[in-house]
Structure 1
Amino acid sequence: MLVNNETGALQPVAEVARGLAELSRAGGGRVMLHTDAVQAFGKIPFRPSELGVDTAAISAHKIGGPRGVGALYLRRPGRREFLNAGGGQEGGRRPGTENLAGAWALAEAGQRAAAGLPERHGQARALMDGLIAGLRSLPGCRLLPEGRGTGLPEELFSPYILSAAFPPLPGEVLVRVMESEGYLISTGAACSSRKKERTRVLEASGAPRELAASSVRISIGSQTTAAELEGLLEALRRRLPGL
């Protein structure tokens, strides 16, 4: 995973790729490297070829395209053994009639996301810096992983995802309260709704289980404004003392 979908942490995929290449040169055998680049595509500057990965997955719905449409980058697009068989579509890699409308929509969304990417990335960084400063001013707020907003450089994180906790308040309670205020935050990634799975990433980063259980995920998008984030902070200032 190039960008963690719960904390926004950028993973050292290129470093892993270099290590695997050294292992291969030393006679350790060829190891294929795949990365989930869904949270990175169209949001942070990167090239799969420069990362050194063999395959990378991207998705349309994270950049304004339709749900259920994605693409797989192959560094060496030669013949491989794939899970599904039975048709000759897509060079024999994936059987079934191609979703032309979905493919076009992904390509169009990708082109729009690529246009002005550095500028939008800078704008998102400025919004996230303001959100972090506001959260740090709230009594009891803990940014996760520990060190974000204090010692860890923000360049190690995506400017679109933030994890915060207000222990001992359960994250589920804060999610419901903020929803009543008109703000949709979550207790983790949408694909990890079960509580045990939800805390796994944070616990692996060193957070105690009690702190992880108090965490909420706050994400921003290309249309998020500074006024909206200030509204979220104001709602937190108003509601947290009574919880």
Structure 2
Amino acid sequence: MPTLILVRHGRSTANTGGVLAGWTPGVALDERGAAQAAALPARLAGVPLAAAVTSPLQRCEETLRPLLAARPQLPLHTDERIGECHYGDWSGRKLAELAGEPLWEVVQRHPAAAAFPGGESVRAMQARAVDAVREWNERVEREHGEDAVYLMCTHGDLIKSVVADALGLHLDHFQRITADPCSVTAIRYTRLRPYLLRLGDTGDLGGLVPHTGEREGAAGDAAVGGGAGAP
């Protein structure tokens, strides 16, 4: 079966503003995010991609533009199932403000039971993302062969949920996984089990330097929505 490369979109204006964007329109890459996207073609230069699939949201489409310009023959598909979590009434609100909501602790400690008001549950988000991956695996293998590699450009919580599924982790553990902006995660699928080849690879080790910032709260909370990455 194919190898899937999951790329989180580059850093966005919502990430740096500490806002949970969700499906809010008009959320673009910030200056650093644009630079991250511009570096993506070189990072993937040695990888023969059969296809690219993107979330319909602007920040993902902007992330893929330099790669598509470098590879004009690369087929591009849009799939709403790998779009951001529908955060409902939480969308567009400051993360610092949301951290005071009773639901925040559920999202952190027991996300399998979390459902966003006016939006979807974390379980539903994972289910649609994993369904999309499985269907694209079959399609890519059918059209390009079992050794094909393809790419999905999507969002932090989506990537974390797909990785949890690949590792056989309960959804309550998905907050232990991190995917920084424009990081690359690679999963090779086989008939019997997936193999996690890369996780949150940003192409350098700068993200390993201890820092204070938006990735985690004072209590070690996970970055809902993915966070802004290392400063």
User: Normalized against structure 1, the TM-score is what?
Assistant: 0.25
Higher Cα Rg, which structure: 1
| Bigger relative CO (Cα 8 Å, ≥ 6 apart) | 2
User: Normalized against structure 2, the TM-score is what?
Assistant: 0.26
